[in-house]
Structure 1
Amino acid sequence: MALNLIVAEGLRLLGLALTLVLTWPAPPWDRLQFGSVVGMVVAPLLFYPYAKTLGLAFDLFFRPVEPGDRADDLSAEHPPSSPQR
């Protein structure tokens, strides 16, 4: 999901900027590089369930459920025909 990638990249950039601002005379470049790689692997894995839920919520917000969208609604509108003998 795009939302998962956006959040992971945003957290990486925020952490990078915050670390650079707080340690500017001599930033720990090795730790920043290692932390970025670990963060880009771990953040999407941890945020995935929330990203999936938010993605579905955005989808329902912009495209609300209409009659006939659900599978059980379709079966009620079109009952199965009886088998012919």
Structure 2
Amino acid sequence: MIPFNKAWTYEIIAKDIYVSSCPFCHTENVLLPLKIEHLKLIQTGQKKLLIFPCCFNKVTLIDADQDYLLTDTVLR
């Protein structure tokens, strides 16, 4: 079972990856510095450091599915 307190939803729009709001500073429609290729690597077990461009907070992505990014940090 996915621990939803450590997961955040994302969307892919025209090969760009967005979150509807930043879990830290609550900025809306944040373009993430991730590519679809990164998501595929994360889904195979590779970890990836994600730094939110709006507030420079960082989390480590440990898994991803088609809707959620799973992190090592409690986001909710």
TM-score normalized with structure 1 length: 0.24
If each structure's strand is expressed as a fraction of its own residues, which one has the higher value? Answer: 2
Report the structure number with the largest CA radius of gyration. Answer: 1
TM-score normalized with structure 2 length: 0.25
If each structure's helix is expressed as a fraction of its own residues, which one has the higher value? Answer: 1
Higher RCO (Cα < 8 Å, 6 or more apart): 1
